[in-house]
Amino acid sequence: MMMAATPDPPPPGETSDDTTGERREVLAALPVLRFLWLLAVLGALATLVGRMIAPSVAGVTVGIEGLVLALDRAGGTLSQLFALFSVVSAVSLVFMVVQTPAPVALRVFAVVATSLAVVEVIVASGRERVPDLMALTSGGVTASLSLLAAWDARRSVFSRQAGLVLGLAGTGALLRVVAALVADSAVSGASLAIGSIARGIATGAFAFDGLAALTAVAGLRKRSEAGGSGGGGGAGSGEPPQQLFSPLILLALALAFVVTRYAAGAGSSEAHPVELLLFRALERLSVRPVPAAPVGAQHFVAALSIVVALLALAARRPTPALSAVVALAMLGRGMVGAPLGSMSLALASLGVVLAARDERGLWAALLGSQARRAPAGGAGQGIRGQGAPEQGVRGQGAPGRAEVREEPPQ
């Protein structure tokens, strides 16, 4: 006689209610979060090829007409694909955010900002230029959403760094929208004083952009094992310690410095084609209104932003979704008035709200990292010897769901 299968009892210390509510919403969002990393990679390629290289390579030297045409087609294709998939992903992400117990203001801004960003992308696909009012409205609402999402990201220590990057980038974006409005007023009124105010606000926005890029670089540090044999950041501090030295940090700063240094040589009469190409590419990333900062500093922040976005996607730390949030925030830097810039910032905001609640994705990343370290730690260590990882994530699920159990004392 066939007997009906009965569900397994919940683990000790948990109730069956844990499988409802927020947990069900988070699990439903997991496939979208996995796709967010791939979407960020596509956005980085679209920015690198379609926005920087393809428009800049024409005229740097002779005999490359075929290369110019190929790069132009590749850049256009990548940009169109990113626009298409970003619209689909944004709609999916905003439905997930609405179902979470996030603050009401955050959910309302998520719906409004995502709707404006989607409409802006659709309008931009049918015409060369988006109306200024639409671009500034979408940029301002999207920047406000990023600030709310950054504040919400404090709920987990593993999402705070990505939230901080997003918050700094969003503050710079909001200031840049204000600067653009003031600059338009200065032009219509032919006032030099108002123009100086707009330039000062744009300089403040540039400062926040630089802080966001440096914070993203600092996030490339590799987390050490939690609860190890002493040292700060263990069980007492509640957050896993991080290595003070990381080759990725040096690589990011070195690449940005080298690119900026070569771009500075484009002003010479004997400039190399590579120097001219780099100068044009960095100029394509320049922000408007122009801040009162040296051109070299503007180029360094622009180069550092694209470099740290690529390295964050390659490192995939602390989770692929959070690395995508950092990359999208860097890609949207200075592009809030542009359709794909507002969309990148909106995707980063929606992603960090869901990634901060992605318990299983977080534990999978942590336990996978610990499992890779286990052979080096000997048979007596491994996952069981890492202390209590739940102390590093406030409000996250217990690691027992990942089948991690401690053996009874001998």
Section 287-307 average pLDDT: 91
Judge contact between 153 and 163, C-beta under 8 A: yes
pLDDT at position 81 over 60: yes
**C-alpha closest to that of 348 among 303, 312, 311, 298:** 312
pLDDT of residue 114: 93
Phi, psi angles (nearest 5°) of residue 223 = -75, 135
Average pLDDT over residues 82-93: 93
Contacts of 7 (CB under 8 A, 6+ apart): none
User: What is the gyration radius of the CA atoms in the chain, in angstroms?
Assistant: 23
Mean pLDDT of 132-148: 90
257 versus 390: the higher-pLDDT residue is 257
| 3-class state of residue 223 by DSSP | strand
Averaged confidence pLDDT in the chain: 78
Higher pLDDT, 125 or 239: 125
374-399 pLDDT tens trace: 554 444 444 444 444 444 444 444 44
Instruction: Give first-to-last CA distance, the chain, whole Å.
Output: 43
Give Cβ neighbours of residue 336 (< 8 Å, ≥ 6 apart). 139, 142, 143, 173, 176, 177, 342, 345
Q: How confident is the model at residue 360 (pLDDT cuts 50, 70, 90)?
A: low
> DSSP characters for 8-20?
PPPPTT--GGGGS
Percent of the chain having pLDDT more than 90?
43
Phi, psi of 242 (to 5 degrees): -125, 145
C-alpha distances (whole Å) from 153 to each of 168, 236, 237, 242, 373 are 13, 22, 19, 19, 28
pLDDT digits (tens, 9 = 90+) for 214-252: 999 998 886 544 333 333 444 444 445 555 568 889 999
- 91-109 average pLDDT score: 90
Contacts 24+ apart (CB under 8 A), 263-266: 263/299, 263/303, 264/296, 264/299
What is the per-residue pLDDT across 11-68, written as a single tens digit (0 to 9) for each? 544 444 444 444 444 444 456 788 899 999 999 999 999 889 999 898 888 788 888 8
Long-range CB contacts (within 8 A, 24+) of 224-229 = 225/370, 225/373, 225/386, 226/366, 226/386, 226/387, 226/389, 226/391, 226/392, 227/386, 227/387, 227/388, 227/389, 227/391, 228/386, 228/387
3-state percent breakdown (helix, strand, coil) of the chain, nearest 5: 70, 0, 30
Most confident option among 61-75, 81-95, 124-138, 371-385: 81-95
Question: Which residue carries 């710079």 as its tokens?
Answer: 172
Evaluate whether 75 touches 66 at the Cβ level (below 8 Å): no
pLDDT recorded at residue 392: 42
Q: What is the mean pLDDT of residues 252-269?
A: 90
Give the torsion sign (CA, 142, 281, 221, 26). Answer: positive
For 190-294, where are the alpha helices, taking DSSP H only?
192-218, 247-264, 273-284
Q: What is the predicted pLDDT for the residue at 307?
A: 95
Residue 36 neighbours by CB under 8 Å, 6+ apart: 89, 93, 320, 321, 324, 325, 347, 351
Q: Mind listing the pLDDT tens digit for each residue in 159-211? A: 899 999 999 999 999 999 999 899 888 877 777 888 899 999 999 999 999 99
SS3 242: strand
Alpha-helix residue ranges (DSSP H) falling in 285-380: 295-315, 320-331, 339-355, 359-373
pLDDT band (50, 70, 90) for residue 91: very high
The answer to whether the CB of 39 falls within 8 A of the CB of 347 is: yes
The pLDDT assigned to 241 comes to 54
CA–CA separation, 332 vs 105, rounded Å?
Answer: 23
Q: How many CB atoms lie within 10 A of CB 283?
A: 17
- Residue 233 is predicted with a pLDDT of 44
Cβ contact 368:166 at 8 Å: no
pLDDT on residue 269: 73
Which of 175, 178, 158 has the alpha carbon at shortest distance from 167?
A: 175
What is the phi-psi region of residue 382: left when phi exceeds 0, alpha when psi lies from -120 to 50, beta otherwise? left
How sure is the predictor about 302, in pLDDT bands with cuts at 50, 70 and 90? very high
**CA contacts within 13 A on the Cβ side of 25:** 18
Cis-peptide into 318, omega within 30 deg: yes
Going by the DSSP 8-state scheme, the letter that residue 73 receives in this structure is H
**Residue percentage of the chain with pLDDT more than 70:** 73
Give the pLDDT score at 28.
44
* Lowest-confidence segment of 77-81, 200-204, 230-234, 264-268 by average pLDDT: 230-234
